[in-house]
Structure 1
């Protein structure tokens, strides 16, 4: 079935889509398609199972814990490395092939495919409602007719799939502490940040009238190292970032001042990342889609990071995870999954170090799992990976760890290290009034 469905998508991708689907198509959701639009059935080879509602939390789990691995008893099926990568090349992102060829000691550990993705029932209900009413506006830079839920569960082109990733459910709010690592010439430096996110689009009870072009509010305060402590950032993120630009303010403890950042989007560099991470690579891709032309390649079976509970476990020293050349492959898990493959090509007149990107998007959750990055000459220069888990208490799928490998110089960036920090609090009391330059100033004084 999926070959036929993918062929239809390839046909419509060449033209302008109207986004909405008719009721007959929408009625497939919850039947042969999952409520979020994935194929419910197993693949013909039986190597990808059917979706049966997602993971069930282990009996040993209680909120506040680092999430125990529900698949810890799974036996490793095989490994992919530089020695046998040609055998599996068709199922691998190009960047991952390149990474293994550059680092012969890196081996992908392949495990049985577990379709663990799940979301709250209200997100399923909203997604089904969105299917016949959501549509792109402003040349694809915004949406209307949707609030909460996946806007385009039966995507007709690449930009719709990217919007599904940007808007997939990650909770109503979240307070968490984690670390990012900059690895240059094999040496890593950690920065610890206390972070808060207040999500607007997917909030319970949200309606299209209530959205007011707001996607989320974000804030962090650096707590280590000492030389950066109390540095803080606030971001107000709109849905349509061409209509209303992203607003960001940064507090510096050196001069006790809050200043508006002229831009924190597209190819501007994320603060404190040693120029290794542009603003739009956070959460593998975020922000306005207007600088790229998007196309749907289709759906493919790929070996991708999945159910990354092993690297998420409490107490693992960060230097056991972050190694000189790559993350520790013995802590990573890869599985065979169906993914949407979407290409982005930089439009004429714009600049970005990543002139072309290929995204691999999980069909079950809409989380981007991997990205190939190419420069203006078409040379492969980067690989992004998101190592996801299902956060049972929400429930939702999101990355527990993200990486961006600079393939040519061997440096890389890691975000999300939380093994030695309190676990995320999705029930935190967060006030949207705290995401303002005035709040930053108050907290700094």
Structure 2
């Protein structure tokens, strides 16, 4: 009887332990105190690596690190630096331990043209002080709920949910909740070239606003909203006027993403629940999914998440030249992949996370192998696998530090289909009338179905 009683007690303890671990995610105050000391304010290792090829983080770039032209484009603070070496198909094998399987596949698929120019590592990432304080608040308050699909106490800080992550889905939530700037408007372009390199530029205008920066935002209505987003196609003429809008909810299982679409031909606004997961991305020619925007977005519920660990890798970084207005879209867009001569890669520490499709769930990507920059929590590389386990699409995020705003942004994002020999490149602003603008005044009425109709007028 005593043995049976002990077994019951032990079972109860185990059950309580499992229950506690399933809801606890916030770290202790002692762990959080590492932020800004041994760790950067966002949770990266502050120290450099053993051989000095990755330097210590000393605060990143500050406003005034370079000049800003009349359209808001930034100059390159590292313009005088030259590549340390270039990785090609001929020498890729010797760098394999610091490259993704996707990058190695690109060398194989495009042996004569794909290259990775490697530069000195510059830890340029920086956020405003208020964001660092918010991240520290998140560390001790935010918890996973709804089996990892939602966040508790997040609206008290609204930035970097888990700066000291304990599992893979927490790392993904850092990407989702990273600081993106204050209410952004961006004029950009994307293209999905044919195998021979022929392409049509699709011009877009998108707006991204956050409840904490909006005028008169209703706390109750926005309690489960991460941000509000409008994406409008402005060219070519056959696509112009089509607009989509989303209220990006935090717990999308509890409350799915609220999405609408305006069709210029029909002149109608309709709910668009299909603008999620593996639905084709708007104006993408089928070359990316809806949840490929921002490398990956949306609910994590269809995948099991595994934190593989941290490693040193060559990733796109400080791509100031790629965002320069002196570079034209024709200079960037080439057959098979973008012009790698315009890119810059550096050695950085990344978090590797694998998302594997749950049994019974549906998505065209059965596995996503993702790499998150430790200094910004941005996804910089993604390998996408199909249902047969074959490497299918390779995603690369060519970021740079917007030092005037203290935020990491893309100069371009590419998704390369290894089977079709095609790709899509998005988020280019080189020929836009303005660089991305931050600090826009917005209100909740700007993100209603009625406002969507107005945005779609050609």
Q: TM-score, normalised by structure 2?
A: 0.90
Given that 1:172 and 1:203 are in contact with CA atoms closer than 8 Å, whether structure 2 keeps it comes out as no
Alignment equivalent of 2:398, drawn from 387, 390, 393? 387
Q: Tell me, yes or no, if the aligned pair for 2:214 and 2:441 is still in contact at 8 Å.
A: no
What residue number does 1:428 align with? 440
Instruction: Give the conservation status (yes or no) of the 8 Å contact 1:148–1:202.
Output: no
Partner of 1:101: 108
Q: State how far apart, in whole Å, the 1-side matches of 2:193 and 2:269 are.
A: 29
For residues 258 and 267 of structure 1, what CA distance do their matches in structure 2 show?
22
Unpaired stretches in structure 1, ≥5 consecutive residues? 1-11
Alignment of 1:41-60 (within 5 A): 41-56=47-62, 57-60=64-67
Q: For the structure 1 residues 256 and 155, does the alpha-carbon distance in structure 2 shift closer, same or farther, using more than 3 Å as the test?
A: same
Shift of 1:192: 0.3
- What RMSD over aligned residues (CA atoms) do the two structures have, in Å? 2.1
Find the residue that maps to 1:68 and give its secondary structure.
coil
- After superposition, the Cα gap between the structure-2 partners of 1:235 and 1:326, relative to the gap in structure 1 and judged at 3 Å, is same
Shift of 1:245: 0.9
What residue number does 1:130 align with? 138
Question: Match for residue 5 of structure 1?
Answer: none
8 Å CA contact 1:387–1:399 kept in 2: the answer is yes
Q: Superposition pairs for residues 1-400 of structure 1, below 5 Å?
A: 16=22, 18-56=24-62, 57-61=64-68, 64-104=71-111, 105-146=113-154, 147-186=157-196, 187-200=198-211, 211-400=222-411
Aligned residue number for residue 8 of structure 2: none
Q: Are the structure 2 counterparts of residues 89 and 363 from structure 1 closer, same or farther at C-alpha, using a change threshold of 3 Å? A: same
What TM-score do the two structures reach when normalised by structure 1? 0.93
Show structure 2 runs of 5+ residues with no match. 1-17
Which one is further off, 224-233 or 17-26?
17-26
- Whether the aligned pair in 2 keeps the contact of 1:267 and 1:280 (CA below 8 Å) is yes
**Contact 1:172–1:204 at 8 Å: present in 2 too?**
no
Residues 444/403 of structure 1: CA separation in 2 closer, same or farther (3 Å cut): closer
With 426-435 and 340-349 compared, the bigger mean Cα shift is at 426-435
Provide the rounded CA distance (Å) in 2 between the counterparts of 1:59 and 1:163.
32
**Superposed displacement of residue 334, structure 1:** 0.4
Which of 413, 433, 437 is equivalent to 2:449? 437
The offset of 1:18, in angstroms, is 2.3
Q: Distance in 2 between matches of 1:195 and 1:290?
A: 26
Give the superposition deviation at 1:353: 1.6
Deviation at 1:120, TM superposition (A): 0.8
Q: Could you tell me how far 1:408 is from its partner in structure 2?
A: 1.1
Q: Structure 1, residues 5-45: CA drift from partner, whole Å, max 9, x if none?
A: xxxxxxx9xx8572111111111111000000000001011
Q: Distance in 2 between matches of 1:61 and 1:274?
A: 34
Structure 1 CA distance for aligned equivalents of residues 404 and 220 of structure 2:
29
Offset at 1:136? 0.2
Q: Find the structure with the greater CA-based Rg.
A: 2
CA distance in 2, matches of 1:245, 1:17: 21
Provide the secondary structure at the position in 2 that maps to 1:96.
helix
Q: How much has 1:213 moved relative to structure 2?
A: 0.1
Q: Distance in 2 between matches of 1:387 and 1:204?
A: 32
Quick one: structure 1 residues 344 and 203, their matched pair in 2 at CA, closer, same or farther if it must change by over 3 Å?
Answer: farther
Report the number of matched residues: 432
CA deviation profile, 1:361-385 (whole Å, cap 9, x unmatched): 0100101100011112211111101
Aligned-partner SS, 1:324: coil
Report if aligned partners of 2:215, 2:441 keep a CA contact under 8 Å in 1. Answer: no
Indicate the SS of the match to 1:277: coil
